[in-house]
Amino acid sequence: MKVARIVGIAGYSITVIALSAAAAQMITSQMDNARTGAYLGETTLTPRNVNAQQFGRIFTLKVDGDIYAQPLFLGGVQIPGKGKHDLLFIATEHDSVYAFDAYGNPSTPLWQTSFLNDGATTVAEEDTQCFFIRPEVGITSTPVIDTKTGTIYVLARTRVGHAISANEYHQKLHALAITTGAEKFGGPVEIHATVRGRGDGSSNGNVTFDPLRENPRAALLLANGTVYLSWASACDVGPYHGWVIAYDAQTLKQKAIFNDSPDADDGGIWASDTGIAADREGNVYLATGNGRFDAANGGRDYGDTLLKLNGQSLGIADSFTPFNADQLNADDNDLGSGGPMLLPDQPGPHAHLVLIGGKAPTIYLLDRDRLGRFQPGSNSQAVQVLPASGGILGSFAYWNHNVYVMANSDALRDYEVKDGKLAFKAASTFTLKDHGATPAVSANGAKDGVVWVVSSKGWNSPDRTAVLHAVDAANVAHELYNSEQNARRDRAGLALRFNIPTVVNGHVYIGAKHEVDVYGLLPAAH
């Protein structure tokens, strides 16, 4: 790995890290900005050796808080005074970011950065009035890494003050050096935003970002030198709105603001902890949840809508709204309960497709060049509308002309992509009760595909153990492994919600309650 130092914008020192082409990486949620969820460089794990005899839990890393963010991985990083390591990055609800050796050698952190300083604490459950994330809220969104500058971007929540009348709530964007965890680019920067509007919580014709009520869950996005952040709420406690805010990746200067309900309320961008997406042209895709939709009648509110935003201005370039958006809102069947996935280019008249699923339960396949806006009475502008067997509380994965999805209380389902449409192919023999999952795929190019899912805790269920499942990507009805087959050896920690496994370099990483469980080939199998 070659490291060079240059003087960046405004005199800031920037570390440019040139990674070898062979270095493995998982630097953003679901692998890439299209959110396909597939790591295609896996040469160790195959459908032939992922079984309870050869594969299992090999070590556990302990951390100081719950892990909702997907673990990130970057190979071949030189740590000052500690040599070169493949790094695993973990963010916790206790407002810590860790860099571990990805193979547990050593098992202690290579560095740890805490944002609990100068009297700051995490945000408590009683502050948010929501039990979805408890007992504390700190870092929920999956960070994102810029390999060009050696920076990991993190959105963290803190509280300063102890008496109720003196509480101050903060949300800050941090830019940390991947080698040390030190702040970069003059960061952190406080999140501030105001738009013109008369929506819920407005004052004097303005809607202002509320750092207490706005809850970030969707992963951070880095595209074309810009970091994108988005927000929803905690348990629908208002007033709140769906926000997207863009920052320059090297100066942390705010570039653009978008609010999807400036004259109404709600419109949260939940995505069930998956990520908003971006295409090669820099357009940004996201789905909003409940809230009023009046844009078809000249308004500015976009509840239950898939939005395509211009990446520079965050202006609306196109959109898709189901014809029954009002009913979806009334029934709390959010379109934005899931995150979008952009499919690779397809042959035929619809070359550029995007998938989005919601709680309705419905899956929409759309032409992202012509999303079609709103059509009263039908969804005829969609390429395909498919019923789901449960609400989509997550997103999809794509591999080798197959789309994988796991809806609420349903099996893992495989749809073949053929002639620009989805055709049901097979389903797994197991289901995940009371919740769905976002799949991850590991494969060696177009062969040896394995689909991985990890069970979640239900929305208000008692604590229960997370379970890792692996199936043959060519036949999802063939379950290869689950971590309860040899529970004494392989049992994972307590499950949280919406966790996505990270699979890279022969290892599977699962975030859980105060720990990361790491799976791989057992010593005798090597």
Same domain, yes or no: 170 and 288 = no
What predicted TM-score, i.e. pTM, was given to this entire model?
Answer: 0.94
254-302: pLDDT as tens digits: 999 999 999 999 999 999 999 999 999 999 999 999 999 999 999 999 9
Neighbours of 483 (CB within 10 A): 26
Same domain, yes or no: 44 and 126 = no
Tell me the C-alpha distance between 200 and 241, whole Å.
8
In sequence order, what are the residues at sequence separation of 6 or more whose Cβ sits closer than 8 angstroms to the Cβ of residue 250?
8, 9, 12, 14, 149, 185, 225
Report residue 165's pLDDT band, with 50, 70 and 90 as the boundaries.
low
- The domain in which residue 357 lies consists of 194-216+219-338+340-386
Tell me the C-alpha distance between 361 and 380, whole Å.
18
Same domain, yes or no: 264 and 359 = yes
Tell me the C-alpha distance between 395 and 35, whole Å.
8
Average pLDDT, the chain: 93
Judged by DSSP in three states, 278 sits in: strand
Judged by DSSP in three states, 11 sits in: helix
Same domain, yes or no: 252 and 381 = yes
Q: How far from the centroid of its chain's Cα atoms is residue 179's Cα?
A: 23
Give 525 or 361, the one with higher predicted confidence: 361
Q: Domain of 116: which CATH number?
A: 2.40.10.480
Helices H / strands E in the chain, number of each: 3, 41
pLDDT at 461: 75
Report residue 526's pLDDT band, with 50, 70 and 90 as the boundaries.
low
Neighbours of 324 (CB within 10 A): 17
Same domain, yes or no: 75 and 170 = yes
Bridge partners for 423 per DSSP: 416
Burial group, residue 362, by CB count within 10 angstroms (0-12, 13-18, 19+): buried
pLDDT at 282: 95
Same domain, yes or no: 318 and 252 = yes
Judged by DSSP in three states, 436 sits in: coil
Tell me the C-alpha distance between 151 and 339, whole Å.
25
Q: Domain of 319: which CATH number?
A: 2.40.128.630
Tell me the C-alpha distance between 278 and 386, whole Å.
24
59-80: pLDDT as tens digits: 999 999 999 999 999 999 999 9
Same domain, yes or no: 114 and 62 = no
Tell me the C-alpha distance between 153 and 159, whole Å.
20
pLDDT at 1: 30
Q: How far from the centroid of its chain's Cα atoms is residue 398's Cα?
A: 16
Tell me the C-alpha distance between 173 and 115, whole Å.
11
Same domain, yes or no: 224 and 249 = yes
Asked whether residue 166 carries a pLDDT value surpassing 90, the answer given is no
In sequence order, what are the residues at sequence separation of 6 or more whose Cβ sits closer than 8 angstroms to the Cβ of residue 335?
287, 288, 289, 304, 305, 306, 322, 325, 328, 356, 358, 359, 360
- Highest-scoring range by mean pLDDT, 4-18, 101-115, 431-445: 101-115
Tell me the C-alpha distance between 251 and 491, whole Å.
44
Same domain, yes or no: 208 and 316 = yes
5-57: pLDDT as tens digits: 222 323 323 333 334 445 799 999 999 999 999 999 999 999 999 999 999 99
DSSP character at residue 506: T
For residues 44 and 26, the answer to whether their CB atoms sit within 8 Å is no
Of 15, 96, 10, nearest in space to 61 by CA: 96
Number of domains in the chain: 3
Tell me the C-alpha distance between 168 and 246, whole Å.
24
Determine the Cα angle at 365 with ends 363 and 367, to 5°: 155
Q: Which amino acid is at 214?
A: E
* Mean per-residue pLDDT, 404-418: 96
b/e sequence 448-463, b meaning 16+ C-beta within 10 Å = bbbbbbbbbbbeeeee
Same domain, yes or no: 151 and 204 = no
292-337: pLDDT as tens digits: 999 999 999 999 999 999 999 999 999 999 999 999 999 999 999 9
Same domain, yes or no: 179 and 265 = no
pLDDT at 443: 98
Report residue 433's pLDDT band, with 50, 70 and 90 as the boundaries.
confident
Report residue 525's pLDDT band, with 50, 70 and 90 as the boundaries.
low
Judged by DSSP in three states, 177 sits in: strand
In sequence order, what are the residues at sequence separation of 6 or more whose Cβ sits closer than 8 angstroms to the Cβ of residue 166?
none
Q: Which amino acid is at 413?
A: R
Same domain, yes or no: 379 and 465 = no
